[in-house]
Chain A
Amino acid sequence: MASTADPAMAEPRAMIVVDNVHVRYSVHAAGRRASAGNRRIGDRVVGSVRQVHALKGVSFVVAEGESVGVVGHNGSGKSTLLRAISGLLPVSEGRIWADDRPVLLGVNAALLPELSGAKNVKLGLLALGVDSATAEAQIPVLAEWAGLNDFIDHPMRTYSSGMAARLKFAIGSARRHSILLIDEALATGDRAFRAKSAERVRELHDAAGAVMIVSHSMRSLRDMCTRVIWIDGGNLRMDGEPGEVIEAYQSEGGTSRPRR
């Protein structure tokens, strides 16, 4: 990593501002998350419901051109953080600002499983506001990039999880000047794909986008990130140079989970 200037203060423009964010939700004994949306009439709200305090006052700023890795043990609140930034999970306290509607790439596979990869590419790009002709022209480019070859014309439900993840990553990162949140979506790729996606992430922050990556693969975080934050038990434990943070995290047993 070309060591960029000290990440202490943001001279470039801020892209994501997370201000003292708390996320609390309650979980039914059965494991369903309790919300107004799925509460059933007659459900006892007390008793079988457990409160989860997933994020306990997290604050940080991500500037233009940064790619920030997020490390932490399972259940520490990493994914919750990305979901909150993407707006898919309401915050209980605090506020989050972002430059653009962030695109969250998770592990769940296809967008529209019954349609072919090519059609998914076109729809995805149109949904992101790309015009029709450009979207059409991008299909072979992205197919090639994701290494799909002939599979691009097969329905996306027939894809392996790796193929689907690669294609989704290609779609999500196709538009310049955007915020990309990647939640373990790269874990399914092989070495060649990891190298390519690292390059893509670099291109994105050269184009003044911002990237946040949740991963258990310390190697890919070291490859791709200009900064790493460590979330521990819902708190921001450490924020700084990738080398330093990863070392501190690993010395506390962060390696217990093997690299995928």
Chain B
Amino acid sequence: MTDLAAVAERAGLTLVGTRPRFSHYLSDAAHRIPFAATLAWYRVQASLQRNRLGLLWIVLRPMLMSLVYGVVFGFILSSAARPQNFVPFLLIGVFTIDFFTNSLSSGSRAITSNVRLVQSLGFPRVLLPFASTMEQAIRMVPTTVLLYVLLLISGEPPRWSWLLYVPILLLLWLFNLGVAMIAARVSVHARDLQQVIPIINRIVFYASGVFLSIDGLLQGAPWPFRIVQLLPTYDFLEIARDVLMMGHAAPTVAWIAAPIWAVIAFAFGLIYFWQAETRYGIDS
């Protein structure tokens, strides 16, 4: 039977069911980025057409969320945990963390909810989690414009440093993409992950200080505080507030940790996702 192997070799064929070399995989994926971009854009369009209020929902949802959290926690929070300038603090927190939590949950479904597409067409599968985070990034455009408007209304003076929020979001996107690739692969192995994601999102929401001042709350506990400070989402929220809010300085560690987290998540996620390339689409 080795003569068949020789035939295959002479014709320069590749073995089916083996993953491509990493460098080939990357260049192949890079070539087909228009596919992922178009898919993301069509998805946004389709989701807008389904709802009667369409585009409005993209901005209404985080606004209503902020309102609810603002009212509830505005009453409950003790003075230590209650941050200065509560309204802009909360708005930046909710709007920014939404980008992460939405990317995580749609990323975890990137393969499992597109099985037909995966089974019908051969393309680097990493484009699917890429498309799902890109979809969230597109949704962040109107949301970010709204955030600037709301900050102005709440009395924050506009500054040049507001422009830095955009590169911070791009960095957060890189981080989200890494996490989405990991979640996409894990939920192929065990779909159960999708049940746990809302819980993870809750934990992230509370631990990252979306509506309360972690610094104030953990003042007397240096160790837990140091751990929370290494939480990537905490770092991103803090540096976002640093550039957007007057008189809110992020700890130095956040400025260092955020880009490191983004690069680590992206690199690890890409390799981890690629390693299971041949498993995606195999029916279960």
Whether, in the assembled complex, B116 has its beta carbon less than 8 Å from a beta carbon of chain A, the answer is: yes
User: Contact between A33 and B46 (Cβ–Cβ < 8 Å)?
Assistant: no
Among A20, A114, A127, the most chain B Cβ lie within 10 Å of the Cβ of: A127
User: Contact between B14 and A88 (Cβ–Cβ < 8 Å)?
Assistant: no
Q: For residue A105, which residues in chain B have a CB less than 8 angstroms away from its CB?
A: 120
Size bracket, chain B contacts: 35 or more
List residues 1-25 of chain B with CB under 8 A from any CB of chain A. Answer: 1, 4-5, 7-8, 10-17
User: Contact between B116 and A111 (Cβ–Cβ < 8 Å)?
Assistant: yes
Q: For residue B11, which residues in chain A have a CB less than 8 angstroms away from its CB?
A: 13-15, 17, 97, 99
Known A10-B7, A123-B38; judge A89-B120 contact (CB<8 A). Answer: no
Q: Kindly specify which of A34-42, A137-145, A200-208 makes contact with the partner chain.
A: A34-42
Q: For residue B5, which residues in chain A have a CB less than 8 angstroms away from its CB?
A: 17, 19, 95
Known A14-B7, A20-B1, A87-B17; judge A127-B282 contact (CB<8 A). Answer: no
Q: How many of A's residues come within 8 Å of B, CB to CB?
A: 55
Whether, in the assembled complex, B145 has its beta carbon less than 8 Å from a beta carbon of chain A, the answer is: no
Give the docked Cα–Cα distance between A33 and B283 (Å).
8
Whether, in the assembled complex, B253 has its beta carbon less than 8 Å from a beta carbon of chain A, the answer is: no
The proximity string for B residues 115-144 relative to A, scoring 1 for CB distances below 8 Å and 0 otherwise, is 011011111000100000000000000000
Known A10-B7, A89-B282; judge A96-B16 contact (CB<8 A). Answer: yes
B164 CB, nearest partner CB in chain A, Å = 33
Whether, in the assembled complex, B252 has its beta carbon less than 8 Å from a beta carbon of chain A, the answer is: no
**Quick one: which of A36, A96, A128, A131 contacts B123, CB cutoff 8 A?**
A128
Known A112-B117, A123-B35, A172-B120; judge A17-B7 contact (CB<8 A). Answer: yes
Residues in B lying within 8 Å of A, measured CB to CB:
1, 4-5, 7-8, 10-17, 31-32, 34-35, 38-39, 42, 46, 114, 116-117, 119-123, 127, 188-189, 278-279, 281-284
